[in-house]
Structure 1
């Protein structure tokens, strides 16, 4: 059966979008808010620890990216099964996604003990910043299994339109970690490694809570290799899409590091704020994944198309709100994260670009959610690769060659958003994404 109202009942549909988007916003915002707290705490240790956190945090977003891929892929598959009236099958998708999450998380945690040093030196170019970043990464990587288990849990719960428990689990874990971070960094005296320990505590606790919720569903818990293989096939395109994004941000940090410690520290402030606004805008995209997937699973292609238009409009509105808030905070916000005048001055170089991209990003992230819910991830993969290889990477390496500083890096980010926006609007107009059925 369809869980999406028809176009004639728009008020009810808007309430349903809000009912999914607002809890998703809390869940999505919890981690970046913690990272912002972490950045502010570490920033007062000095320029080198903040630069080390910028390098280490950028590399560790690779793990968060794996979690996002897992959550999005699970949401789409679970939502279609839920829309077709089979909740048990939707939960079963979560079981197999959790086995996959645990295996990948353990492998990542072990691998980072070996590769953290080379990665940090490759990004930072050596020196004390790279050494400090490597120490931070080796500790922080121990939270990978919990982080990925929580991502899989979020995925299947969104698919079955469960909103309350993810908020409780994620907030509880992150509040504990936010309290631990300043305590471990300063009174306990661990310094920069203290922030990594706080990360591990939050991620492990979150993973355990989601695993307990899955066990309580009384579903069969045995690994099902054919289902896992199908999930891997779905995830392939999302992985390639995510890899393109990670190449972008790793390259941006590498270029910023070559402009000096003040530049890369300022880039850390701006990019963490960007991740915060991106994930907050993704709350609308997550509602789109769940509702569009359920509509198409229930054979309601017209309802899915109507939802896509409505969700794109909501994305624009949210993006405009963020643009106004960021512009108003331009003279204040950078100072929250660093007392260093050179760092604050460099942050202001990126600020106009950061403001300008928000309304465009609002539409892009919303339509990403529509296509992920529809299972049209191959198109998203191709579009992202084109935007990365044809837009962002040439722009930032030109910025390095021409000594354009952070302004050139952030102009490249805006260019990537514009290319993706054009491609998504053309795809929406074609209608080829709206394929009905329980699983695409």
Structure 2
């Protein structure tokens, strides 16, 4: 007998994550760790691999389905002889077979009103007949009493994070269910129209007063092409708009002389050719040293905006450019790792980001973020703080400049730094000290190795 096994959704850290792509079909042969489906949360796109090799016998999911941990993706005929009998299918409701283990009784639910034009309620057979029950269509008015919004706990938490009164959001899902995109669209509309969303006390004073977004028929000026944004771009846009509107940003610029650091980096790379040692690993080490020296940067405001939470760990977020948009995976415990280990972690997490294999644990818990454009160009820029963090470092392209050394101008490799910070938590003097300390760390390689 064939060994039929079910492939399940692993712990993805979120509930109701949509399936955006089905990568296999019935009859396909899959190898262990081969991707079956692609999921897209508010922070990243991730592919779910098969836990074993075999032939796909049945697909349980389709594009658009929302899944959580434990959902069945597919039934696969696993390779090799049957190790255990396949699980018996559940008996159909209405048959005489009793389940092996009786389920706990469900709590009583309000009885839905009869459907107009029908003599019986959906899912209830007429008296005297035996028929399979039909699941009634989902209706928010039945599931949620009164005028309560129909949304999962994850969506409610997302709305609170954005400062949105979920009562004001109209759901576009089945039965009026509120989706993440509905919350994001509500924030975008509020920002564009000048309407003030219902937000927390920390941002309720004054509100936003913006002109409506201009409506332009671009086609009358020439040929155009419409290209939809990816889901990550849509949600990132809402997050960035919130962060820019609600956090009072200030950006401090500084130059770091990295001449000696770059020489050491090239030497280290020549001695360890199996690991790519980029300037970013040195920047991570310098940031950790600065966070230890200035703990107010390694902090977050609580939801009330009245308490500062100081963190004793050092997890650094790294902005990674992917075809679907910008994601910020997190490298953990950077204070406990050397340059080579950080280089390896950076390579692994960057590849996973581009291959859409980041898990939720790799996208959360960051203390401070680094956005590096050094491989592209530019001088300085203003990175947007990644809430609930209070600061972010922007790194531009290094350039050789003549620098006065007290006797003459000498060529030095200079790295432009841009430190954006939340002015509610950090004042200008503290930010200038942090940026100067950071530049000194990068300028003296001996400090980084302590």
- Shared fold (TM-score, shorter chain, > 0.5): no
**Bigger relative contact order, structure 1 or 2 (CA pairs below 8 A, ≥6 apart):** 1
Could you state the TM-score of these two structures normalised by the residue count of structure 1? Answer: 0.20
Could you state the TM-score of these two structures normalised by the residue count of structure 2? Answer: 0.20
Of Structure 1 and Structure 2, the greater strand share is in: 2
Of Structure 1 and Structure 2, the greater helix share is in: 1
